[in-house]
Amino acid sequence: MTGWVARRVLQMVPLILGITVVLFAVIQAAPGGPEGALLESGRFIDPEVIEAYRQRLGVDEPIPVQYVGWLGAAVQGDLGVSFSTTRPVAEMILERLPATLELMGASFLLAAVLAFAIGTFSAVRQYSWFDHLGTGASFLGIAMPVFWFGLILQLVFGVWLGWLPVAGRGTVGASGLGDHLLHLVLPATVLSLRYVAGWSRYLRSSLLQALRADYVRTARAKGLPESVVVGVHGLRNALIPVVSIMALNLAGLFSGAVITETIFAWPGIGRMFVQAMFARDYPLLMGILLLGSVMVVVFNLVADLVYGLLDPRIRYE
Amino acid sequence: MTRLRRSVPVCALALLAACGGGDGGPEAAAGTASAGEARSPGILRIAYDREIDVLNAFTSQNLVDIQFSMVEGLVTTNDRNEYVPVLATEIPTPDNGGVVENADGTVTMTWPLHQGVRWHDGEPFTSADVCFTWRFVTAPGSQVYNRHEYLGIVDCATPDEHTVVFTWDGPYGYATGLFEAMLPEHVLGDLTAEEIVDYTPYNRGEALVGTGPFRFAEWRAGEYIRVVRNDDYWRGDSLPAIDEIVWSFVPDDNTRFNALKAGQYDWARILPTQVDEARGLDGYDVFLVSSNSFLHFDLSLNSDNARALFSDPAVREALFLAVDRAAIADQLMQGTVVLADSPINHTSPYHNDDTPGVPFDPDRARAMLDAAGWQPGPDGIRVKEGRRFSFEMLNRAGTSDRIAVAQVIQAQLKDVGVEVTFQTLESAAWTQRWRSGQWEAMVSAWFLPADPSVTGLYACEGSNNMTGFCDPELDALMERSDRTLDPARRKAALDSVQVAVAGEHRFLPLYFNVVPELVSTRIEGHRGSGTNFGSFWNLWSWRLR
C-alpha cells in the first residue's frame, strides 16, 4: 500500500511538469499581452512606456526562455511576482485561500448533507412524490444559471426582506462570527445548489442499483432491519461512484468559484483569477492554475484511496 | 429597527452642483438591522467596481481616484473640467506672472506652495518633494503613462521650501495640468525609479504617506481599502468632516445596485440602464456626470479595402449622415448621454460651440454615395469598379454599450446600401489589433483629461492615432494650440482645431458617456467630475449627515 502511494506520487512529478508546459503555452497563446491593461483605462499612453513595461516584465523574451525562467524559480518555491500588483504570487494566493476554502468548504458541507439526504430518500422511496419533486428540483438546480439565481436571492433576502447582506465577506468594523456567517449564507447556498443537484442524482441511481443487488436481498432475508440494509449494505456500496465525483469536485475547492465570487463580491481565488486573466498577469495565472492542477492530481489519488476504505475488494499493491 | 423612508428630490442634470439638498429628515437609517450593520455616522461606505492594482497614483494602470483621498498634487480637476490648485496656492499663468517666456525660448513656471503642509508621518512637505516627484516621473524606468508630457521640464529649482520653479524647454499648453500627485522624498528618496515602481510597502499602502485628508489604514485583499481621517490635515482642524472611508470592491454591476438598494453602501457608480430604477430609490440621489469618456465611430485607412472605401471625404461624410445619433442617445442610452460634436466635452471651457455637427439625413447620404460612383448592386449593397461597399467593424468583447451602438450603425448603414461585418475580440486581443492598425472600423472611446489637447489622437504621428489618417495642416493647427500658454489664445487655436477635425469626417463623434453615480442623501458636498481624476477630487469637503 505505502509503496503504491509512493509510486503514484512519483508519477505526479512528470505529469505536473507536463501540465505546466501546456498551461504556459496556452496562457501565452492568448492574443494580447499585459500591456493591454495599460490601455484598458482609455487614457493616452506614451508608446515608449508600453515598450518599457513589456521589457520590465520580461514578456519581450522568447516564450521558451520565459518558461525556463519561471520553472527554475518555481521549483525553488518562488512563483514570481504579479505583473499588476508587484507582489509575490504565492503571497497573493495564500491571502485569498482562506476566503475560498471557507466558501467552498461551507457549500460542500451543505451540498453533501442535502445530497445524501435527498439521494437516499429518493432511492428508498422510488417514484414517490418526494422522488419526483427531488428529480424536478435537481434538474432545476443543474439548469439554473448561477448569476441569475444569485441575483434573485440577493433581491429577495437582501433587498426585500433585509435578512441577509447582499455582498461582501463581512461588515467593515464588525468582527463577530455571526456577521461573518450571515455573509456566507447566500454565496454558499448558490454554490451548493449545483452540487446538491448533481450528487443527489448520482447517489439515487447508484443506490437504486445497489438495493437490487443479491447481497441486499440476502441482507433482507437475514431479517436485518431496513435501516441497516440501506445504511450499511446499500449506501456503502452505492458511494463508490459518488465519491470519485466528489473528490474531483473537491479539487475545485482551491481554485474558487468564479461567478459566485464575483456576484457576491467574495474575496476568493476565482475572482482574482478572472482579473488576472483580463490583465494577462502571467505569473499570477500560472500560480493559480498550478495550484488547481496539483489539487486535481492529488484528489484523484485521494479518491482512489477512499475506494479502498469503502470497498474491501479493492486492494492496492 | 425600522427603515425610515422619505422622499428625496432626484437630481438628474449633468454636473448639478447644488444637488443633494433635502429637507433634512432623520438620517443614518439606510441600514438593514438584521444584517448586523451598526452604521456609525462618520463612516462613508463606497461600493467600488473593481479592486485596484497599486496605490502609487503614478504607476497604477487603473483610473486613479481612491488614491486622491490620501495623496494630493499641485492641482486636481473639478466638475467643470478646470484645473484647481491643491498643494499650490495658485496656478501659475502668464497673467499672474507665474509663467514667463524667456528670450532663449524656454519658459519659467513658478509654483507657490501652501505652508504648513505635513506628510502623514509628520515630516514637512516642501518644494524638494516636488522636484523629487519630477525626477521619478521623468526617469526612464518610471513607466508613468504620460511621462512624455513631463519631459519638457529641463530643470526643477527650489529657491525656498515653499516655491518650486520649473524650466520648460518651450511653451506647452498642458503644463499646468501635470503633477496630480506627490511622492515623499523622505520615504522613497533612497530608491531608484524601478525600485519605486516595485516598492510593495508603498504600492500596498503600509508605507504610503501623502498630504491628503485621509491616511491609509488597511487593504484587505479582494475586500476593501480603508482610510481614516488625517487629524493633522493642512486645510484646518475641522477638516475633513468624515472619520473613515471604506471602498469595498463589488465588481458585479447588478450586485452593486442591489447592495445600494439594501442600504449597504452610500456611493456607487451604476449603469445607465439602471438610472430609471435608481431614480425611484429612497435615500439616494442620482448624479448623471457627463464624463470625458468620448465615444466615437472610427474609420481607418489601414487596409487596401479601407483605403478604397474611405479615402474620399464625401463618402465618409455620407456614411456619417446615415447614422441616427439622436436615436442612439435617446433610445439605446435612454437619454442619459450628451451628443458629441467634438472630442472636447461641453463642460470644458475649451469646447467650441460652433463646431459643425453631423445631422441625420439618409437621403443625402444615398445621393452622395451615388454621386461618388457607388451604385446599388444586385443584393442592395453598393458596388464601384467591382468592389462591394463592405467593411469589418472590430468590437471589443464585454463593452456591451459599444457593441450595441455598433449594431445600430450596422443596421443604419445597411439602409443606405453599405455592409458592415463584425469581428469581436476579447479586450487584450482587441487592444493588440487596434495598436497594430489591422482594422477597418470600430466604435471606440477615449477617456480624456481636463487638458483639451487632442494632438495625440489626430496628429499624423500621434501616439494614439492608429487610423492612418494624416493631415499636415491639421498637425500645424494642433501644434500651435499645444504650444500656446495664454488660455484665451489657446482656446482660439483649439476652436479652429475642432472645426477642422469635424470637417475631415475621419470619425463620427457619438456621445459623451455618462457615469451615473448613486449618492446617498447622507452625503453633502459631492459634486462629481467627468475627468479621469474622478468624483473624489473634493473629498476633503464632503460631509455626512
Nearest CA in chain B to A53: B143
Taking alpha carbons only, the member of B538, B497, B447, B21 closest to residue B235 is B538
Grid cell for residue B349: 471651457
Distance CA A275, CA B61 (A): 13
Distance CA B337, CA B290 (A): 7
pLDDT tens profile B446-468: 888 888 888 888 999 887 888 99
- Dihedral over Cα of A86, A90, A94, A97: its sign: positive
Average model confidence (pLDDT) for chain B?
87
Q: Indicate the residue of A39, A166, A271 with minimum beta-carbon distance to B264.
A: A166
Name the pLDDT band for B2 (thresholds 50, 70, 90).
very low
Predicted local distance difference test score (pLDDT) of residue A278: 83
In this predicted structure, the answer to whether residue B20 has a pLDDT above a threshold of 80 is no
Predicted local distance difference test score (pLDDT) of residue A238: 85
Predicted local distance difference test score (pLDDT) of residue B13: 34
B224 has a chain A CB within 8 A of its CB: yes
Residue B11 is classified by DSSP as P
Taking alpha carbons only, the member of A132, A154, A89 closest to residue B221 is A89
Q: Which residues of B touch A145 (CB under 8 A)?
A: none
Q: Indicate the residue of A53, A182, A278 with minimum beta-carbon distance to B428.
A: A278
Nearest CA in chain B to A34: B428
In this predicted structure, the answer to whether residue B39 has a pLDDT above a threshold of 60 is no
Nearest CA in chain A to B466: A47
Predicted local distance difference test score (pLDDT) of residue B122: 93
pLDDT tens profile B424-440: 988 778 888 888 888 99
Taking alpha carbons only, the member of A308, A192, A202 closest to residue A253 is A192
Q: Which residues pair with B391 in a beta bridge?
A: B420
List b or e across B500-529, with b for residues whose CB sees 16 or more CB atoms inside 10 angstroms. Answer: bbbeebbbbbbbbbbbbbbbbbbbebbbbb
- Pairs across A and B, CB distance < 8 A: 216
B63 has a chain A CB within 8 A of its CB: yes
* Residue B122: other Cβ atoms inside 10 A: 8
Q: Indicate the residue of A48, A52, A158 with minimum beta-carbon distance to B258.
A: A158
Residue B9 is classified by DSSP as P
Place of cell 461588515: A171
Q: Do B34 and A154 touch (CB under 8 A)?
A: no
Distance CA B409, CA B368 (A): 18
Q: Do B427 and A278 touch (CB under 8 A)?
A: yes
User: To the nearest whole angstrom, how far is the Cα of B417 from the nearest Cα of chain A?
Assistant: 33
Name the pLDDT band for B312 (thresholds 50, 70, 90).
very high
Q: Which residues of A touch B428 (CB under 8 A)?
A: 30-33, 36-37, 278, 280
Q: Do A85 and B53 touch (CB under 8 A)?
A: yes
Distance CA B345, CA B497 (A): 14
Distance CA B35, CA B291 (A): 35
User: To the nearest whole angstrom, how far is the Cα of A47 from the nearest Cα of chain B?
Assistant: 6
pLDDT tens profile A27-86: 888 877 787 777 666 666 777 777 778 888 888 888 888 899 899 888 888 888 888 888
Q: Do B246 and A174 touch (CB under 8 A)?
A: no
In this predicted structure, the answer to whether residue A200 has a pLDDT above a threshold of 50 is yes
Predicted local distance difference test score (pLDDT) of residue B22: 33
3-state SS track over B469-483: CCCHHHHHHHHHHHC
Residue B168 is classified by DSSP as E
B264 has a chain A CB within 8 A of its CB: yes
Q: Do A164 and B34 touch (CB under 8 A)?
A: yes
Predicted local distance difference test score (pLDDT) of residue A43: 66
Predicted local distance difference test score (pLDDT) of residue B35: 37
Name the pLDDT band for B5 (thresholds 50, 70, 90).
very low
Residue A86 is classified by DSSP as -
User: Which residues, other chains included, contact B61 with Cβ-Cβ below 8 Å and sequence gap of 6+?
Assistant: A37, A38, A40, A41, A84, A279, B53, B145
Name the pLDDT band for B12 (thresholds 50, 70, 90).
very low
Predicted local distance difference test score (pLDDT) of residue B371: 95
Predicted local distance difference test score (pLDDT) of residue B136: 95
Average model confidence (pLDDT) for chain A?
85
User: Which residues, other chains included, contact B353 with Cβ-Cβ below 8 Å and sequence gap of 6+?
Assistant: none
DSSP string, B270-324: --GGGHHHHHT-TTEEEEEEEEEEEEEEEE---SHHHHHHHSSHHHHHHHHHT--
pLDDT tens profile B74-126: 999 988 888 999 999 999 998 899 999 999 999 999 999 999 999 999 999 99
- Altogether, the residues listed in chain B come to a count of 545
Q: Which residues of B touch A35 (CB under 8 A)?
A: 431
In this predicted structure, the answer to whether residue B30 has a pLDDT above a threshold of 70 is no
Q: Which residues of B touch A59 (CB under 8 A)?
A: none
Q: Which residues of A touch B227 (CB under 8 A)?
A: none
Predicted local distance difference test score (pLDDT) of residue B41: 56
In this predicted structure, the answer to whether residue B36 has a pLDDT above a threshold of 80 is no
DSSP string, B116-159: S-B-TTSPBP-HHHHHHHHHHHHSTT---TTHHHHTTEEEEEEE
In this predicted structure, the answer to whether residue A311 has a pLDDT above a threshold of 70 is yes
Predicted local distance difference test score (pLDDT) of residue B420: 96
Taking alpha carbons only, the member of B12, B5, B66, B3 closest to residue B519 is B12
Q: Hey, is A126 helix, strand or coil?
A: coil
Predicted local distance difference test score (pLDDT) of residue B24: 33
CA distances from B33 to A147, B3, B184 (A): 26, 9, 43
pLDDT tens profile B386-400: 999 999 999 988 788
How much of chain B exceeds pLDDT 70, in percent?
92
User: To the nearest whole angstrom, how far is the Cα of A300 from the nearest Cα of chain B?
Assistant: 30
User: To the nearest whole angstrom, how far is the Cα of B23 from the nearest Cα of chain A?
Assistant: 25
C-alpha Rg value of chain A to the nearest Å: 24
CA distances from A202 to A196, A234, A301 (A): 10, 14, 21
Nearest CA in chain A to B50: A275
CA distances from A41 to B319, B339, B462, B512 (A): 29, 22, 18, 16
Distance CA B429, CA B103 (A): 49
Name the pLDDT band for B4 (thresholds 50, 70, 90).
very low
Nearest CA in chain B to A163: B34
Q: Do B258 and A176 touch (CB under 8 A)?
A: no
Grid cell for residue A275: 482579473
